[in-house]
Amino acid sequence: MTPMPTTSDPLPPIVNADWLADNGAGVVVCEVGSSMTGGDPEEAYEKRHLPGARYVSLDTVLATPPSVAGGRHPLPTADDFAADLGALGIGDDMTVVAYDRRAGGGLAGRLVWMLRIIGQRAALLDGGLGAWNGPVESGPVAVEPVDRAVRPWPSGAVADADTVAQHIRAGGVVIDSRDPARYAGEVEPIDAVAGHIPGAINLVYTDNLDADSRFREPADLTERFAATATDDDPIVYCGSGVTACHNALVMEHLGLGRPRVFVGSWSAWSADPDRPVAVGPTP
């Protein structure tokens, strides 16, 4: 990836382990986990995590309970998000670096995106836990709760199903971040309906990574997102608004702007019987 910033530079959406080792004293590290990956993610965190890392639950901190309109992982209220981060000792002015145990940060990207859209310095750790060569810790981390200001979700950062439909009708770019087999409707392990939003292109988020689960070179990634050049305000989605954030962060890192995220994603779109569904490998 591109060179990492010094402490005085604006923080890009992605940093590497060397940058974290050099700047860790001024950073809050977070491990993001979810029950949807199987097992007990918090137990895994307590067995081995980066020094001082706070555990952040995707299911309870980064989302509210599922709903038909909101999908599987709706955004929490701004008040709840501020309260939960405050309880984790994450103040408004703190820099956050997040990672998870999946390839390339498919879960942690959600926290980074949420923080960045409300104006807080946050970045995804390239390579995650596997890229860290320094010491690790076990057990819970003691934190001092802090008060946080409530920052509303900016309307320009998110999209709903109607906005997605209108954007496609206008010729805009909508990116489906899921596996090609799910996009094509060949398999659907979670939602009741298989397929994709008609008109959406497929750029699975894992193709942002190389064989070592590190981000590919900027030139390769820029070529990968070439289709977005025709749209200065694209929209990304996935199954439930989580891994779509991975694509959103890469696009921002490349200087392509920050796309809107359809947080309800396929879980919300497919739950509405009036929404059209496409199958097959093309839009």
Catalytic residues: 238
State the Cα–Cα distance between residues 142 and 140, nearest whole angstrom.
Answer: 7
Q: Which residue has the tokens 């193709």?
A: 207
State the Cα–Cα distance between residues 130 and 103, nearest whole angstrom.
Answer: 9
First to last CA, the chain: 30
Q: Read off the tokens for 9.
A: 């530079």
Which residues lie below 8 Å from residue 109, measured CB to CB, with a gap of 6+?
A: 98, 124, 242, 243, 245, 246, 248, 249
**Which phi and psi angles does 213 have, rounded to 5°?**
65, 30
Residues 161 and 269 sit within 8 Å (Cβ to Cβ): yes
State the Cα–Cα distance between residues 109 and 187, nearest whole angstrom.
Answer: 25
State the Cα–Cα distance between residues 133 and 136, nearest whole angstrom.
Answer: 9
Cα dihedral: 237, 240, 243, 248 (round 10)? 40
Look at residue 128 and give its three-state secondary structure.
helix
DSSP 281: S
Residues 216 and 209 sit within 8 Å (Cβ to Cβ): yes
Look at residue 201 and give its three-state secondary structure.
strand
State the Cα–Cα distance between residues 251 and 157, nearest whole angstrom.
Answer: 14
Q: Which residue has the tokens 């009741």?
A: 192
